[in-house]
Amino acid sequence: MWVVATAGHVDHGKSTLVRALTGMEPDRWAEERRRGMTIDLGFAWTSLPSGGTVAFVDVPGHERFVPNMLAGVGPVPAALVVVAADEGWMPQSAEHLAALDALGVSYGLLAVTRADLADPGPATARARKEIAATSLGAVEAVPVSAVTGAGLAELRAALVRLAARQPAPAPVAPVRLWVDRSFTIRGSGTVVTGTLGAGRLRVGDELELAGTGEPVRVRGLQSLGVARSEVTAVARVAVNLRGTARDRLTRGDALLSPDRFHRTDLVDVRVAGDPAADLPATLTLHVGSAAVPARVRPLGPDTVRLRLARALPLLVGDRALLRDPGRHHVAGGVTVLDVAPPPLARRGAAAARATVLAGLDGRPDLAGELRRRRLARAEELTRMGVPVDAGPVAGDWLADPEHWRQLAARLVDEVARHARQHPLEPGAPVETLRQRLALPDRALVEALVRPPLRVHAGRVTATSGDALPAPVARAVQRIRDEYGDRPFRAPEADHLADLGLGPREIGAAVRAGALLRLAENVVLLPDAANDAVRVLAGLPQPFTLSAARQALDTTRRVAVPLLELLDRRGLTRRLPDDARVVVSAAP
């Protein structure tokens, strides 16, 4: 179990208490020990009577070092709040508690130190009252003296009970290790440390740097000072990175599972604290170990849009806090509602967006996300922290069911509209339909096609929509009237032109099944091929081109392409001497 040890004053005996519990020195810097105050994050751990281990992130108490304190608080699931019996509740205690509340830390324990110097009762009563009004709720309180050792056994027992209350971590979750230290070890290279809140790290794993997306490889792992091949959350971990310069990572960076997080510099959030309208234009967002300046745009009474100074790997549902460093004031806790929000470009867009955000609670919800986004890629939703448990409609695209039904109805209308505007074209191009429906991918258009629509050669048409334009229909009827008793005679090119049948009109008639095209400007009535087979079957087999031409009462201009068509359809077979035989009767 990892616990953040926090005190609301210079020390309140916090570091002394951690030292007494663990036998380790949490203050790493000589200046900290000289001044008797924690300046930066310290780390220590010890075994519990239950056989488990408790580890502490010792954070600074002085107001000048609140950013360091917040870097240690962010990723840790539980807090040991330290108040001194002889000093009681201090102003900085309130800010530290506000930070824990803003981050939604809900597991905690109160240690009242220096119980050998003053009655711990008043300090305990005040601290428990303050803590009870936050996310920590009612906490167990233990008076203790690090000098005399009184209460240390009781505090260890209370830590066992605190550990038993915490939920099991998710070892299969993606890794997001917020970096709080980065240094170099001779012979090993760059080492970063952080608190692994979820997931699993192994030697040899490939991760990404959150700031740049570049890949890095885990060369070695340590947890609680012991080299390990694998570390599972929740754990304090030191990661030795292969071939990565130390200056590539600083506090506030993160190591990520590849392709599992959405990096964003624009987020919509709910603020629990100061009213959105009263927030300054610029605040600092603290999340994980990162502290990033943010421009604030109020949307609703408790919702704002944040423009971050740099992109962060954020998920829907993340907890963070907004702080005004100038006033040493926690403006409020933040729940991330949307990590890929839409632009607010139109008049009234901000008010409309506030209405949408009012219905969100920060819990990732696939149905809700699809309802708002209408269409989204499964991979993008996963990177936002939204679990995907529905099948795609095309490729990896997911769709809101109602929106998908509306698109299908609109597609039918658009295909009919295109047919009216372009009667001689063989259907509506898929790309044209994609643009008219404002879809991001052609595959979505094809996935929408259902009978009576069909898609062929990049176009969509209706199976019942083959009626010819009136002028073309009249021209085809003229051909039927003129050539009905001479089915194997083809109109000459100039006669086709006189009838108004150019290439586009002939193409439309062929697609509609009203004409059979043998070659350019060589057309017959649609039943000519089957009729020809029946005539040719009556000839002595095999037969020549000349015999076929005479039997069909046609010209070489028609006979040659007609026989080639019958060959392709497998109705006749051409022999080595250019004679043919009928091999299949016409239907």
Complete domains list, the chain, with CATH: 2-165 (3.40.50.300), 176-256 (2.40.30.10), 262-363 (2.40.30.10), 527-587 (1.10.10.10)
CB atoms within 10 A of CB 185: 12
pLDDT given for residue 26 in this prediction: 55
pLDDT given for residue 429 in this prediction: 92
DSSP line for 359-427: T--S---HHHHHHHHSEEEHHHHHHHT----S--SBTTEEE-HHHHHHHHHHHHHHHHHHHHH-TTSSS
Give the span between the Cα atoms of 424 and 61, in whole angstroms.
Answer: 80
117-122 contacts: CB < 8 A, separation 24 or more? Answer: 117/85, 117/86, 117/145, 118/85, 118/86, 119/85, 120/85, 122/88
Return the amino acid letter for 89. Answer: W
- In 3D space, the residue among 220, 209, 219 whose CA is nearest the CA of residue 242 turns out to be 219
Give the span between the Cα atoms of 143 and 120, in whole angstroms.
Answer: 6
How is residue 527 written in tokens? 């039943």
pLDDT in tens, the chain (587 residues): 445 444 444 445 667 787 788 777 655 544 434 444 444 566 777 888 887 788 777 766 444 435 555 554 555 678 888 888 988 888 777 877 887 888 888 889 999 999 999 999 999 999 999 999 998 999 999 999 988 999 999 999 998 898 888 877 766 789 999 988 888 887 778 899 888 888 899 999 999 999 888 899 999 999 888 899 999 887 888 899 987 877 778 888 999 999 999 999 999 999 998 999 999 999 999 888 888 999 999 999 999 999 999 999 999 999 888 988 888 788 888 999 999 999 998 889 999 999 999 999 899 999 999 999 999 999 999 999 999 988 999 999 999 999 999 999 999 999 888 887 877 677 889 999 999 999 999 999 999 998 888 888 888 887 644 567 778 888 888 888 888 888 999 999 889 988 888 888 888 888 777 888 898 889 999 888 889 999 999 999 999 999 999 999 999 999 999 999 999 888 999 999 889 999 876 55
pLDDT given for residue 470 in this prediction: 76
Give the span between the Cα atoms of 287 and 45, in whole angstroms.
Answer: 24
Q: Would you say 563 and 580 are in contact if contact means Cβ atoms under 8 Å apart?
A: yes
pTM above 0.85, yes or no: no
pLDDT given for residue 87 in this prediction: 86
pLDDT given for residue 74 in this prediction: 53
How is residue 539 written in tokens? 């000839």
pLDDT given for residue 187 in this prediction: 75
pLDDT given for residue 32 in this prediction: 39
Give the span between the Cα atoms of 461 and 453, in whole angstroms.
Answer: 6
pLDDT given for residue 254 in this prediction: 92
Give the span between the Cα atoms of 106 and 76, in whole angstroms.
Answer: 11
Give the span between the Cα atoms of 423 and 417, in whole angstroms.
Answer: 10
How is residue 369 written in tokens? 């996300």
pLDDT given for residue 266 in this prediction: 97
The packing angle between helices 545-552 and 556-568, to 10°, is 110
Return the amino acid letter for 428. Answer: A
- In 3D space, the residue among 279, 330, 328, 272 whose CA is nearest the CA of residue 306 turns out to be 279
